[in-house]
Structure 1
Amino acid sequence: MSAAEPDLGPEPRQPKVSVVIPAYNEGEHIVPVLDRLFDAVQLPCEVLVVVDTPEDSTLPVIEKYAAAEPRLKALVNTYGRGPANAIRFGIDAARSPAAVVTMADGCDDPRQIDDLARLVERGVAVAAASRYMAGGQQVGGPLLKSLMSGTAGRSLAWFARVGTRDATNSFKAYSTEFVREVGIDSRDGFEIGIELAAKARRLRRPIAEIPTIWLDRAEGDSHFQLRRWLPKYLRWYRFAFGPPLTVDQVRAKSRQD
Structure 2
Amino acid sequence: MTITPRVSVVIPVYNEGESIVRCLDRILREVLLPAEVLVVHDMPEDTTVPYAQEVARTDPRVRTVLNTYGRGPANAIRFGIDSAVAPVAVVTMADGSDDPRQIDDLARLVDRGVVVAAASRYMPGGQQVGGPRLKRMMSRWAGRTLHWFARVGTRDATNSFKAYDTEFVREVGIESRTGFEIGLELTAKASRMRLPVAEIPTIWLDRQLGESRFDLGRFMPSYLKWYFFAFGRRLTAEQLSRRGPVSPVPTLEKESSASG
- Confirm or deny a common fold (TM above 0.5): yes
Deviations 1:17-56 (CA, angstroms, capped at 9, x unpaired): 0000000000001111111111100000000010000011
- For 1:197, the aligned partner's letter is T
Runs of 4+ displaced beyond 6 Å: none
- 1:200: which partner in 2? 190
Selected match of 2:47 from 57, 82, 99: 57
- Asked if residue 212 in structure 1 is aligned to residue 220 in structure 2, the reply is no
Selected match of 1:186 from 170, 176, 183: 176
Supply the distance in 1 between the matched residues of 2:45 and 2:128 (Cα, whole angstroms). Answer: 33
- 1:45: which partner in 2? 35
Supply the distance in 2 between the matched residues of 1:38 and 1:147 (Cα, whole angstroms). Answer: 33
TM-fit CA distance, 1:252: 2.8
Are the equivalent residues in 1 in contact too, given 2:191–2:230 (CA < 8 A)?
yes
Selected match of 1:86 from 72, 76, 91: 76
- 2:129: which partner in 1? 139
- 1:159: which partner in 2? 149
Q: Which moved more, 1:246-255 or 1:103-112?
A: 246-255
- 1:251: which partner in 2? 241
Deviations 1:44-81 (CA, angstroms, capped at 9, x unpaired): 00000100000110011111110001000100100000
- 1:172: which partner in 2? 162
Supply the distance in 2 between the matched residues of 1:219 and 1:17 (Cα, whole angstroms). Answer: 27
Are the equivalent residues in 1 in contact too, given 2:77–2:91 (CA < 8 A)?
yes
Supply the distance in 2 between the matched residues of 1:28 and 1:166 (Cα, whole angstroms). Answer: 30
Selected match of 2:22 from 7, 20, 32: 32
Q: Secondary structure at the match of 2:18?
A: helix
- 2:64: which partner in 1? 74
| Higher-Rg member (1/2) | 1
- For 1:19, the aligned partner's letter is V
- For 2:40, the aligned partner's letter is V
Alignment coverage as a number of residue pairs: 245
Aligned Cα RMSD in Å? 0.9
- 1:5: which partner in 2? none
Are the equivalent residues in 2 in contact too, given 1:139–1:214 (CA < 8 A)?
yes
Are the equivalent residues in 2 in contact too, given 1:202–1:250 (CA < 8 A)?
no
TM-fit CA distance, 1:240: 0.4
Aligned residue runs from structure 1 range 93-108, under 5 A: 93-108=83-98
Supply the distance in 1 between the matched residues of 2:78 and 2:154 (Cα, whole angstroms). Answer: 22
Taking CA–CA contacts closer than 8 Å with sequence separation of 6 or more, which of the two structures ends up with the larger relative contact order? Answer: 2
- For 1:51, the aligned partner's letter is H
Supply the distance in 2 between the matched residues of 1:43 and 1:81 (Cα, whole angstroms). Answer: 30
Identity of aligned residues (%): 69
Aligned residue runs from structure 1 range 1-40, under 5 A: 11-40=1-30
Q: Given the two structures, how large is their TM-score scaled by the length of structure 1?
A: 0.94
Q: Given the two structures, how large is their TM-score scaled by the length of structure 2?
A: 0.93
Are the equivalent residues in 2 in contact too, given 1:18–1:46 (CA < 8 A)?
yes
- For 2:152, the aligned partner's letter is V
- Asked if residue 241 in structure 1 is aligned to residue 228 in structure 2, the reply is no
Supply the distance in 1 between the matched residues of 2:52 and 2:244 (Cα, whole angstroms). Answer: 35
Q: Secondary structure at the match of 1:248?
A: helix
Gaps of 5+ in 1: 1-10
